[in-house]
Amino acid sequence: MTVQITRRGLLRSAAAGAVASTMGSLGFGALEVAAAAQVRPYKLSRTTEVRNTCPYCSVACGVIMYSLGDGAKNATQSVMHIEGDPDHPVNRGTLCPKGAGLLDFVHSETRTKYPLYRKPGSDQWQRVTWDFALDRIARLMKDDRDKNFVAKNASGQTVNRWITTGFLGASATTNETAYITYKVVRSTGALVFDNQARV
């Protein structure tokens, strides 16, 4: 009798429903049992490898991030290694010195994790909420635009430009993010602007 072993299934003898094994049928069955018993107390550790994009520049190199941890709710997963993605068509496994130092960037103690604010004249940074930070940025942008927006140039032509504030987008953005960023920033008249959509 021939039983189709699909790679996604177990090999079973259709007649008896018994599990067959090569080692058993060759007379090494005892070894198989002993080997299984030996590993019973072993614990497996879980690693994940995740593709990501280097955030440093607009070349947008592919990276693979290795982390340890079982992904359970209470366990903390920690990134232990980052390297260039050899399957990525842009960098084909390579990274520049900045990209090669990404792991230190991830674990850096001085990494910005939340908005910080330094008042004019102060020498102290203080932690603030996102609402505060976004309101503050919007306020300052609006004030600056109201004051410095150029509607017409010296010869009276309409130009509608705002060149006293600049905007920089990050590299690890999707096409959609780049599109929306472009539309939002350009609609204010801002010309001092760079993001991934330029590349």
Residues that bind another protein (CB under 8 A): 1-15, 19-28, 31-32, 34-36, 38-40, 42-51, 64, 71, 83-87, 92-97, 100
Nearest distance from residue 199's CB to another protein, in Å?
19
Decide whether 26 or 154 has the Cβ nearer to another protein. Answer: 26
Decide whether 31 or 134 has the Cβ nearer to another protein. Answer: 31
Nearest distance from residue 72's CB to another protein, in Å?
12
Decide whether 39 or 154 has the Cβ nearer to another protein. Answer: 39
Q: CA-to-CA distance for 145 and 131, rounded, in angstroms? A: 21
Q: CA-to-CA distance for 19 and 3, rounded, in angstroms? A: 12
Q: CA-to-CA distance for 144 and 139, rounded, in angstroms? A: 9
Nearest distance from residue 140's CB to another protein, in Å?
39
Q: CA-to-CA distance for 143 and 187, rounded, in angstroms? A: 16
- Contact, 162 vs 171, CB < 8 A? no
Could you tell me the two tokens for 124?
Answer: 């102290």
Nearest distance from residue 73's CB to another protein, in Å?
16
- Contact, 64 vs 85, CB < 8 A? yes
Decide whether 60 or 95 has the Cβ nearer to another protein. Answer: 95
Decide whether 44 or 154 has the Cβ nearer to another protein. Answer: 44
Nearest distance from residue 16's CB to another protein, in Å?
9
CA-to-CA dists, residue 190 to 5, 33, 173, angstroms? 64, 72, 20
